[in-house]
Amino acid sequence: MPLRLYNTMSSQVEDFHPLHANEVRMYACGPTVYDYGHIGNFRTFVAVDLLQRFLRQSGYKVRYVMNITDVDDKIIRNAAQAGVSVQQYTAKYVQAFLEDSALISIEPPHFVRATEHIPQMADFVARLVEKKIAYRADDGSYYFRISEFPGYGKLSKKDFSGILDGARVDVDEYDKDSARDFALWKAPKPGEASWQTPIGSGRPGWHLECSVMSMEELGESFDLHAGGEDLIFPHHENEIAQSESLTGKTFARFWFHARFLLVEGEKMSKSLGNYYTLRDLVLKGYKPSSIRYLLTSVPYRKQLNFTFDGLKQAAVSVERLRNFRQRLRSGGFPGGSNPELQALAAETLSRMQAALDDDLNTAQAQAAIFDMVRKVNSALDAHAVNTGDTAPLLAALDRFDEVFAVINDDDSAKMKTISQWALSDGREKEISAELRDQIQADQISNAAIESKIAEMEAARKARNFAVSDALRAELVGAGVIIENTKDGVRWRRK
RNA sequence: GGCGCGGUACCCAAGUGGUAAGGGAGAGGUCUGCAAAACCUUUAUGCGUCGGUUCGAUUCCGACCCGCGCCUCCA
C-alpha cells in the first residue's frame, strides 16, 4: 500500500508518488519572525515534521525546505518602532524559532530566508511584467493581474468570474487595475526599510517569497507544499497564480494543510487569554514530549482541542511508553524466543505503517503501539519473554519513535534550557514550582543515585523498612522515581 | 451570504453497511513489607436530533439543531 494523502487541490485522498523516483521535494511555509511561535504554529510544523519523518522511514530521500519570512509589514513596523534594523529585530525571533523547533523535536528542514533572495524576487517580477501578467502601479508597487490566470481560485475553490468583470471598487485607493489583484512588490513608504533592485526600490510581497524560494530550491514543479489551513487563500492561491503563469507548469502537486487547533474549546487568541507559546507551557512545568505527543495524537486534518487536561494525559501516555522500553531493556530474560511475540512485533510494524500510510492516521498508529505494549507487559508478567524477543519488540518501538519522537527522554535538559532563558530574559517570575521540580532531577549524579539505592537495598534486605523508606523518599524528593521489582531496583529521573 | 469541516462513553479520540480501536480518569482485584510499575475485570444496547433507504445504519440519503474554519492580519 502506498502512502495516501489528502490533497487540498483535488479535495480527495490520493496515492502519493513523487515526481522523482525515490526523492520527495517538499516545501512548508514557515514562520514570520516578529514574535515567539505559539502552539498553533507548532501544530502545523509538527504535522509537517511527522510527514517528513514518515516519508524518510518509508524509504524516500526527502528534500524539505522551509522559508523564514524575515521581512513583512509587521516586521518593518515593529523594527521601526524599536528603532533597530529589520535584521536586528528579526534575529532574536529567528533564533527563538530554531530553538523552539528543537525543543519540540522537529528535525531541521533546509531553511531559506526571504531577505537573502531579494534579487531573485525582483527578477521574478520583471519576468511577469515582460509577460504582461504583472504591472507597475504609479507608486512603484507591482501587482499581479489575476484576470491573466484562468485557474485563479482552483485551490480554494473560489469563483472569481463575477468579480473580474468590471468590479473596480477600491481601485483608486489601492492604485490597482482590479480590486482583487494582489501585490507582488511593495514600494517603500517614507522611512521604511527597502531594497534597491532593477525593478525599483521596495520590498517583496509575502506570496512572492514562497514562489521564488521554493522553485529555486526544488524546481519549477515539486511534490508537496504544506502550511496551515488559513494559507489556502490567499497565500497559496497566489503562489500558484504567480508560479504557474510564469512557468506554464504545475507548481506543487500535493497541497497539505493542517487544521487549526482550539485551546480549551475556543479559538486561541490573545484577547481570550488562551494564547500560549511553547515556552509558556514549559515554564508552567509541562514537558516538551507531552506537548509533542498531544499535538500528534489527533490526525492533522481534524480540529484538535488543546487542553491542560490533555497535556497531563499525554504525559502519562508517554511515561507508559518509556517505562515499557526500560522494562524490555532491563534484560535477564531466558534464552530462546517466543513465536507469538515475534509475530506481534511484525504485526505492530505493519499496523503502524498501514495507519500512517492512510493519510497519517496517527491515532491508529498509537493504538497499534499501545496494543503491543499491553500484550508484551502481560507476557513479561508471565515470564513469557525470551532474549530473542526483545530486539524485534524494541525495533517496533524505535520505529514508532522515529516518527513520533517522544520516547527518548531529553525533557529535563530542554526544560533546564528554557528555565535559563527565562532567567536571562527577565521572566524568572514565570518559572513555576512544577518546572523547578522537573529540572531538579538533573542535579543528582547517576553514581549518587546508585549508591543511595545500594544503601536502600541493604536496609531492605535487613528488613529495616524505616531506613529504606527514608532513603527512597530522599531520592523521590530529588526527582528520582524508584521501582522495586522482583528482579531488582529500577530507577529513572522524573 | 458563498465554500468547507465536525458532533462517538467522565475527558481525549479511531473506525466500519452487520453490531463500537487506543489513551487518560474512576471502581474492584492480582503482585508487593509498603509505595511505584505492570496485569486482569469493569465504565456507550449506543455513536447530535428526527425521518428515509436497507434483512440490517453509528456508518448511505434528507431535514433540522449545535460547534468550528476560510472568504486578502493569522499556523
Range of the structural domain that residue A309 is part of? 266-404
Q: How far apart are CA A50 and CA A44, in angstroms?
A: 10
Distance CA A331, CA A395 (A): 15
Kindly report which amino acid residue has its CA closest to the C1' atom of nucleotide B39: A378
User: What are the Cα distances from residue A383, in Å, to A21, A330, A332, A390, A482?
Assistant: 46, 13, 10, 13, 22
Cβ atoms of A474 and A452 within 8 Å: the answer is yes
Domain end point (choices A235, A258, A281): A258
Do strands A304-306 and A266-267 pair parallel, antiparallel, or not at all (unpaired)?
Answer: unpaired
- Both A191 and A285 in a single domain? no
Cβ of A47 near strand B (distance < 7 A): no
Comparing every residue's Cα with the C1' atom of nucleotide B69, the nearest one is A260
Nucleotides of B under 7 A from a protein CB: 2-6, 11-15, 21-25, 31-40, 67-75
Q: Are residues A133 and A190 in the same domain?
A: yes
| Same-domain pairing of A63 and A211 | yes
- The whole-angstrom separation of Cα A423 and Cα A429 is 9
Q: State the pLDDT confidence band at A171, using cuts at 50, 70 and 90.
A: very low
**Domain boundary pick from A258, A285, A320:** A258
Question: Does residue A332 belong to any structural domain of this protein?
Answer: yes
Protein A302 CA to nucleic acid B66 C1', in Å? 18
| A183-210 average pLDDT score | 93
What are the start-end ranges of the E strands in A356-425?
Answer: none
Is residue A93 a part of any domain in this protein?
Answer: yes
Q: Is the CB of A304 under 7 A from strand B?
A: yes
Contact criterion met (CB below 8 Å) for A184 and A133: no
Whether A143 and A239 have beta carbons less than 8 Å apart is answered as no
The mean-pLDDT minimum among A20-29, A156-165, A359-368, A410-419 falls in: A156-165
Residue showing cell 489556502: A232
| Strand A23-28 relative to strand A61-68, pairing | parallel
Taking alpha carbons only, the member of A228, A276, A320, A299 closest to residue A50 is A299
Question: How many angstroms separate the CA atoms of A5 and A7, rounded?
Answer: 6
Report the complex ipTM.
Answer: 0.95
Is the domain of A96 the same as that of A163? yes
Sign of CA dihedral A10, A206, A70, A231: negative
A321-354 residue pLDDT tens: 999 999 999 888 999 999 999 999 999 999 999 9
Same structural domain, A18 and A142: yes
What average pLDDT does range A87-112 have in this prediction?
97
Clarify whether residues A336 and A233 are in a common domain.
Answer: no
Q: Which of residues 225-254 of A touch strand B (CB under 7 A)?
A: 227-235
With a cut of 70, say whether residue A163 has pLDDT above it. Answer: no
d(CA A148, CA A245): 8
pLDDT value, residue A162: 56
A258, closest nucleotide (Cα–C1'): B75
Residues 378-417 of A with CB under 7 A from strand B: 378, 380-381
What pLDDT digit, counting tens, does each position of A424-457 carry? 999 999 999 999 988 887 778 888 888 888 888 8
Residue A116 lies in a domain: yes
Check whether A484 has a pLDDT greater than 60: yes
